[in-house]
Amino acid sequence: MSGKINNSQSYVKYIEVPVPVLGNNIADVERLKAPLLKELKGVDNIFVPTGLAVNLPSKLRKWGNRIKVVLFRDSRGWFVVDLLEPDPDKPLFGLAVDLGTTRIVLRLVNLEISTNISSASCHETAFDNPQVKVAPDVLARIHHAGTEKGRSELQDLVIEGLSNNINILCRKQGVEPKQVVLLTVAGNSAMTHLFLGIESSFLIREPYIPAVNAPEPVTASELGIGINPRGMVYMFPNIGSYFGGDLISGILFAGLNKKENPCIMVDVGTNAEVVVGNRDWLIACAGAAGPALEGGVSDMGMTAKPGVIDTVKIDRETGKVDIHTIDEKSPIGICGSGMIDLAAQLFLSGMVDIRGKFVPSVCGSRYIEVGGEGENRGAFCLVKASESGTGKDILLTQIDMNSLTSSKAAMYSILQVIVEKTAGLEFSELAKFYVAGTFGSFIKPVSAISIGMLPDIPLDRFEVLGNSSLEGASRLLMDPNAFDEIEKIRHGITYIELNVNQEFMNIFSGSKFYPHTDISRFPSVISKC
Amino acid sequence: MSGKINNSQSYVKYIEVPVPVLGNNIADVERLKAPLLKELKGVDNIFVPTGLAVNLPSKLRKWGNRIKVVLFRDSRGWFVVDLLEPDPDKPLFGLAVDLGTTRIVLRLVNLEISTNISSASCHETAFDNPQVKVAPDVLARIHHAGTEKGRSELQDLVIEGLSNNINILCRKQGVEPKQVVLLTVAGNSAMTHLFLGIESSFLIREPYIPAVNAPEPVTASELGIGINPRGMVYMFPNIGSYFGGDLISGILFAGLNKKENPCIMVDVGTNAEVVVGNRDWLIACAGAAGPALEGGVSDMGMTAKPGVIDTVKIDRETGKVDIHTIDEKSPIGICGSGMIDLAAQLFLSGMVDIRGKFVPSVCGSRYIEVGGEGENRGAFCLVKASESGTGKDILLTQIDMNSLTSSKAAMYSILQVIVEKTAGLEFSELAKFYVAGTFGSFIKPVSAISIGMLPDIPLDRFEVLGNSSLEGASRLLMDPNAFDEIEKIRHGITYIELNVNQEFMNIFSGSKFYPHTDISRFPSVISKC
């Protein structure tokens, strides 16, 4: 666990304090500040909480005027988190936390050695957000948090789950939980509010106002998290109810704020969050894209797990359907990215028309009727009961398809509003198209383009970021300068409210066709049809 | 209790928060900051602890976007202490605390109305420092605080005593203790350390290093003080083990740091603390002056209480002795200032010589022998047993006299070192001679000059400050700008260590004569002899 001590760019400093002599009455706290300020070039004050003075005199003298100082920052600058024995064999750790609505991911980072993310990433753990027990979705949780009791119940659940999992992760790595002194947490605005026990009701009521955009760091003991009680918990800031810290963390990781040419980052999900810009400007928006994109739309829709269909291919000559399932288990359902694949294949093979309606004559025996009115009574049988893991047909109904059509249209409209109407760019001017979020990492851009969900730009411009929220949180643990970047990102973003955007509604109708009413927008798709 | 709300120069602000609207996603905390920063001209950030965001959304909406904000400062600038209902009928209060070794004085100050000190001063209470129970003197308390148990025992005693007395004082004024949101506490370095529960052992060991010079404010709940739990406790900073916050508070009150011409402030006691300077420079020192000056030297020495002799006159023609006692009760002893009076009268009447020795032939029947060697066997009978309240003679022995001689010589030497040798001034150049501290307020300058304890400057330059420690603490409650003054004072003072000052020892010998070996220093005394 020991390694090269990195004193220059780190929250942990090994400090040599000048020995006190007669004729120099400077107190221990103030004598400690001087060498600390030397380390933090350009900083003119460092806050030392009075509680840390309590035992400082005997500590300094016992440790021969050498001391390990844990530092952190808030909106007012640097402060001392804790003063510890200068023992390099008990290094201090930080934890990056991706605070997801469904899943929480932790990564343990050694704060005392220069390390890179990839080597550190093995020290990770993930667990279901224990708030799922109360309600799976954000809205229901916020309603539940409407009473003080409900609020503290939800907070207790997530804090307790976090503490337990920190404990397990630490033990596995031979680290004591009290060696963890910093937590950087990236979550959406609602999860951040619930985590801090802050009233969240007004997040979801017009005009959608968070209680706080940039919460100041709080101590682990204040939140009851089982690490060093003086340890600090930093929450990534949000810029609105629907644009949270997970996205700010993602922007930091993608480095959008440092690019010369405009790039875009999109977190695709039930809510689509989008930010476009470069080192000079950033524009963001968020909008409902519909649950279809996360597999939450129909009986067969589900999130990724063994047996879930993630890839679909349809031979345009023979109409033969090929599927692939996660872990190659018997198929039990389909995930959002599989559904995008399926829709793309159906459209390219002519099995659905430009309105997204099944064409029974092309579908052949796979077209069945399951009830419903008029055009909506049909369904496409992806897997027959005899071949499925559930013993039932795995169907994509016309209703499911309609829902997917709305979702993909919403996604494209959001992109068009922000890129063309707001930033005044052509899609082709985007140097990079970053896809953030867990769900996004499974989408095949070529399929998403085929259905007109994502713009028709060269495939090599798409880049999957993976868990960008966790990566950004890790970055902050390894580089204190990221603070300034986060502040710059936060203050530099112009947020566009789609709820009040008339343009969005106008564009939305045209986007409901496959791939689009304006087919000149999708030359690569047209060439395949 | 209500009155004109003073929003400009106050820690309490009534704030109107802009109503949130669609298209402006600024969160409640950040929306509150904007009007606050407008109030605090020239301030570019204000810290809002995350804990205050917890209920802010419903508070703001319940109170119609109006809110009462309590502000305070630390080394990093302004922060929000609490957010309360904007009810002017429940005004908020501060408490100024003179944290004396022997006595603690509290003054309740309404933070919401423009008030002046004199009208507020009726809302005061005083009580014995409960740490006296463990040990009356500072040294013994510091020894007692050498263990963690002893330290917390001493802290608990003073905190509990304070809480009880705050409660009593508040109830008497019809104020709820939770209406108290700020405490400004001025005490010497040892009392400040013990109050905060900070290790104090090194204060009294060479090289005499405090744990902290300028402790950051702490919350009332952290210290367990029974006011608003979020209320802040500010401790006046010290500049060394022997120059504490009580003196910084005194300098603030006397306005030494704003004077054009050099002035001096002296706190006379067992330890003499001295500061000389003006708006451009300040030099301070502290030295042991001996217990004689606080009446702690002999059987008859005592602190001021009914029956204690505070004034002595001896008729130079008849040798008749006139005394005055506090509350005009039968005499039981003499206080320090009475002793200075007595010594002055004995010297001026020729009853003691220039070496401070009794002259039996002049003393007449009042001279008696009480044992001891040679010159030291004599005593002066101030009150005969038949006339005393104790049934015993009240005696000033030669041993007492010798002790007083040392004390007055130390006092004068300290003044000479700092004024002449360090600041390079003549005593006559001092525009004002401020006498601080409770004991100092009883000293008659004319008597102190007569024995060569204070320099022979015009009497109208002497000014008694009273409880300057309490007055400075009150000043900070009424004027937030005093923060900057305190910091300027603290950083501007040059502290001279007398323990390592050779000049002091050289000067001391000459000062042991009455009034001084160099009689040209005391023209007014010589003219009376």
The residues in B 48-67 lying below 8 A from A, measured between CB atoms, are 48-51, 53-58, 61
CB-based contact (8 Å) between B206 and chain A?
Answer: yes
Nearest CA to CA, how far is A491 from chain B (Å)?
11
Residue A321 tokens, joined: 């359907």
CB B440 within 8 A of CB B464: yes
The torsion angle over the Cα atoms of residues A452, A454, A455 and A459, rounded to 10 degrees, is: -120
Mean pLDDT of A12-23: 91
Query: Is A65 a domain residue?
Result: yes
Determine which of A490-499, B180-189, B341-350 has the lowest per-residue pLDDT on average: A490-499
| pLDDT single digits (tens) A113-141 | 865 444 545 699 999 999 999 999 899 99
Find, in chain A, the residue whose alpha carbon is nearest to that of B201: A57
Q: Determine the residue among A198, A225, A487, A499 to mutate to test chain B binding: the one whose Cβ has the most chain B Cβ atoms within 10 Å.
A: A198
Query: Is B219 a domain residue?
Result: yes
Query: Who among A22, A45, A206 is closest to B22 (CB)?
Result: A206
Q: What is the rounded CA–CA span in Å between residue A21 and residue B254?
A: 32
Nearest CA to CA, how far is B213 from chain A (Å)?
5
**What percentage of chain B exceeds 70 in pLDDT?**
94
Q: Are residues A272 and A376 in the same domain?
A: yes
Q: At residue B400, what is the residue type?
A: D
Nearest CA to CA, how far is B24 from chain A (Å)?
8
- Count of domains forming chain A: 3
Nearest CA to CA, how far is A217 from chain B (Å)?
7
Q: What is the rounded CA–CA span in Å between residue A440 and residue A453?
A: 13
3-state secondary structure of B491: helix
Is a pLDDT exceeding 80 seen at residue A206? Answer: yes
Find, in chain B, the residue whose alpha carbon is nearest to that of A46: B76
Q: What is the rounded CA–CA span in Å between residue B300 and residue B309?
A: 10
Sheet holding B218-219, edge to edge: B124-128, B103-110, B93-99, B180-187, B232-235, B218-219
CB B199 within 8 A of CB B151: yes
Query: Who among B22, B30, B210 is closest to A500 (CB)?
Result: B22
Find, in chain A, the residue whose alpha carbon is nearest to that of B44: A76
Query: Who among B25, B216, B499 is closest to A208 (CB)?
Result: B25
Nearest CA to CA, how far is A80 from chain B (Å)?
12
Question: CB distance B211–A74 less than 8 Å?
Answer: no
CA nearest neighbour of B215 among A17, A65, A51, A34 = A51
- Banded pLDDT at A470 (limits 50, 70, 90): very high
Question: CB distance B76–A241 less than 8 Å?
Answer: no
Q: What is the rounded CA–CA span in Å between residue A376 and residue A363?
A: 15
Query: Is B7 a domain residue?
Result: no
Query: Is B180 a domain residue?
Result: yes
Mark B208-237 as b/e (b = at least 16 C-beta within 10 Å): bbbbbbbbbbbbbebbebbbbebbbbbbbb
- Banded pLDDT at B277 (limits 50, 70, 90): very high
Q: Are residues A106 and A55 in the same domain?
A: no
Partner residues linked to A369 by β-bridges: A378
Query: Who among A50, A222, A239 is closest to B196 (CB)?
Result: A50
Find, in chain A, the residue whose alpha carbon is nearest to that of B206: A22
Query: Is B258 a domain residue?
Result: yes
Question: CB distance A216–B48 less than 8 Å?
Answer: yes
CA nearest neighbour of B246 among B183, B166, B284, B189 = B189
Query: Is A457 a domain residue?
Result: yes
Q: From the CB of residue A265, how many other CB atoms can be counted at a distance below 10 Å?
A: 28
At A300 the pLDDT is: 66
Partner residues linked to A240 by β-bridges: A243
CB B469 within 8 A of CB B365: no
Query: Who among B30, B76, B495 is closest to A45 (CB)?
Result: B76
CB-based contact (8 Å) between A26 and chain B?
Answer: yes
Is a pLDDT exceeding 70 seen at residue B111? Answer: yes
CB B186 within 8 A of CB B245: yes
Nearest CA to CA, how far is A90 from chain B (Å)?
26
Question: CB distance A50–B215 less than 8 Å?
Answer: yes
- Domain end: A63, A84, A105, which one? A84
Find, in chain A, the residue whose alpha carbon is nearest to that of B215: A50
Q: What is the rounded CA–CA span in Å between residue A51 and residue B505?
A: 40
**Measured on CA atoms in the order B284, B285, B289, B290, is the torsion positive or negative?**
positive
Q: Determine the residue among B54, B147, B496, B502 to mutate to test chain A binding: the one whose Cβ has the most chain A Cβ atoms within 10 Å.
A: B54
Q: Are residues A231 and A254 in the same domain?
A: no
CB-based contact (8 Å) between A365 and chain B?
Answer: no
Question: CB distance B25–A500 less than 8 Å?
Answer: no
Query: Is B514 a domain residue?
Result: yes
| pLDDT single digits (tens) A294-327 | 555 556 677 778 999 999 999 998 999 999 999 9
Q: What are phi and psi of A247, to 5 degrees?
A: -80, -35
Is a pLDDT exceeding 90 seen at residue B445? Answer: yes
| pLDDT single digits (tens) A266-299 | 998 778 899 999 999 999 998 877 665 655 555 6
Question: CB distance B54–A213 less than 8 Å?
Answer: no
Query: For residue B208, which residues of chain A lie inside 8 Å, CB to CB?
Result: 22, 25
Nearest CA to CA, how far is A304 from chain B (Å)?
34
DSSP character string of A227-271: S-TT-EEEE---SBTTB-HHHHHHHHHHTGGG-SS-EEEEE-SSE
Query: For residue B238, which residues of chain A lie inside 8 Å, CB to CB?
Result: 27
Q: Are residues B501 and B467 in the same domain?
A: yes
Q: What is the rounded CA–CA span in Å between residue A160 and residue A165?
A: 9
Query: Is B5 a domain residue?
Result: no
At B118 the pLDDT is: 47
Query: For residue A27, which residues of chain B lie inside 8 Å, CB to CB?
Result: 209-213, 238
Is a pLDDT exceeding 70 seen at residue B116? Answer: no
- Banded pLDDT at A529 (limits 50, 70, 90): confident
Query: For residue B61, which residues of chain A lie inside 8 Å, CB to CB?
Result: 202
Q: Are residues B395 and B481 in the same domain?
A: yes
If you count residue pairs, one on A and one on B, with CB atoms under 8 Å apart, how many are there?
175
At A335 the pLDDT is: 86
Q: Are residues A97 and A79 in the same domain?
A: no
Query: Who among A26, A207, A211 is closest to B21 (CB)?
Result: A207
Q: Are residues B435 and B293 in the same domain?
A: yes
Determine which of A439-453, B46-60, B182-196, B297-311 has the lowest per-residue pLDDT on average: B297-311
Q: Mean pLDDT in chain B? A: 91
To which residue do tokens 């360090």 refer? B422
- Domain end: B202, B235, B268, which one? B235
In angstroms, what CA-CA distances link A378 with A352, A367, A399, B149, B433? 11, 7, 8, 80, 101
Helices B502-510 + B398-416 axis angle, to 10: 130
Query: Who among A56, A58, A241 is closest to B25 (CB)?
Result: A241
Q: Are residues B148 and B261 in the same domain?
A: no
Q: What is the rounded CA–CA span in Å between residue B331 and residue B389?
A: 5
Helix or strand (DSSP H, E) at B401:
helix B398-416
Q: At residue B141, what is the residue type?
A: R
**Measured on CA atoms in the order B459, B460, B461, B466, is the torsion positive or negative?**
positive
CATH code for the domain in which residue A216 is found: 3.30.420.480
CATH code for the domain in which residue B56 is found: 3.10.20.880
Q: Are residues A54 and A130 in the same domain?
A: no
Q: What is the rounded CA–CA span in Å between residue A527 and residue A514?
A: 14
Angle at B241 between CA B235 and CA B244, to 5 degrees: 40
Q: What is the rounded CA–CA span in Å between residue A477 and residue A475?
A: 5
Q: Are residues B490 and B524 in the same domain?
A: yes
Query: For residue B216, which residues of chain A lie inside 8 Å, CB to CB?
Result: 47-50
To which residue do tokens 């107190």 refer? A27
Domain containing A63 equals 12-84
pTM above 0.90, yes or no: yes
| pLDDT single digits (tens) B336-370 | 889 999 999 999 999 999 999 999 999 999 999 98
- Banded pLDDT at A375 (limits 50, 70, 90): confident
Residue B229 tokens, joined: 């739990």
Q: Are residues A128 and A146 in the same domain?
A: yes
Q: What is the rounded CA–CA span in Å between residue A409 and residue A289?
A: 8
CB-based contact (8 Å) between B146 and chain A?
Answer: no
Partner residues linked to A69 by β-bridges: A13, A83
Question: CB distance B209–A28 less than 8 Å?
Answer: yes
The residues in B 227-286 lying below 8 A from A, measured between CB atoms, are 238-241, 243
Q: What is the rounded CA–CA span in Å between residue B101 and residue B141?
A: 10
| pLDDT single digits (tens) A76-93 | 999 999 999 999 889 999
Question: CB distance B23–A222 less than 8 Å?
Answer: no
Q: Determine the residue among A17, A36, A52, A54 to mutate to test chain B binding: the one whose Cβ has the most chain B Cβ atoms within 10 Å.
A: A54
Q: Are residues B216 and B301 in the same domain?
A: no
CB-based contact (8 Å) between A25 and chain B?
Answer: yes
